[in-house]
Amino acid sequence: MPYLFPLGPAQLQALPSGALFWADQSLLVVSDLHFGKSDRLARRGGALLPPYETRATLMKLDRDLTTTGARRVICLGDSFDDLTAAGEMAEDDSLWLTRLMAGRDWTWIEGNHDAGPVSVGGTHLAVLRVAGLTFRHIASPEPHEISGHYHPKARLPGRTAPCFLMDAARVIMPAYGAYTGGLSCDDPDLQALMQPRALAVLTGATCLARPMR
């Protein structure tokens, strides 16, 4: 089940997958897909990981788009693990992404890994504002803002899971990609960004809300 909450003028749904859905705008928001991470690590002499993360992330995205029927999509930056990864996506994966984008208003927000237009369609922006909400990669002091970048995670007895962080002013999205690490919501950088009564909403089979602190 999703977790329903307001942000400014919007009624939003945090989905168990780590996506955010704004029904009134038919808008799906995802962050930090990091397509091509295994290829980038291998290219730069890092750890060798099975090269399946792009397909796993596309499968999850396909499922969320089918379930919600979203006609608009915002990817909140670091969609590709670097700009080279955007140009070297496997043909089958590239065709799958093209099919998902077809007929949808698709915006790529620039991140710190993909700081510039990539060789795919859609609109490429640093910041996007929609009906009273602001979408960017890294959080700022602007109110009613949705961002990513930090890959927040929260711990419960027996498990740790990616989570949304949310308060009256902002939402920080979890990483959506299959091969992404995370930053504990107890980290001072995240504590400084969020208000004292902020929530951590853990992803998984269902969304579970708990106090961030």
- Is the pLDDT at 117 greater than 80? The verdict is no
Integer Cα distance of 190 and 131 in angstroms: 26
Does position 209 have pLDDT exceeding 80, yes or no? yes
- CATH code assigned at 86: 3.60.21
pTM of the model: 0.90
Q: Which range marks the domain in which residue 87 is found?
A: 3-211
Q: Which of 53-62, 116-125, 141-150 has the lowest mean pLDDT?
A: 116-125
Reading the block at residue 86, the tokens are 């955007």
- Count of structural domains within the chain: 1
74-97, pLDDT tens digit by residue? Answer: 999 888 866 666 667 788 888 999
Model confidence at 37: pLDDT above 60: no
For residue 115, the model assigns a pLDDT of: 57
Predicted confidence band of residue 178 (pLDDT cuts 50, 70, 90): confident
DSSP sequence for 62-115: HHHHHHH--SEEEE-S--BSSHHHHHS--HHHHHHHHHHHTTSEEEEE--SSS-
Strands 208-211 and 133-135: unpaired
How far are the Cα atoms of 42, 156, 174, 179 from residue 49, in angstroms, in the given order?
Answer: 8, 27, 21, 9
Q: Are 96 and 65 in contact (CB under 8 A)?
A: no
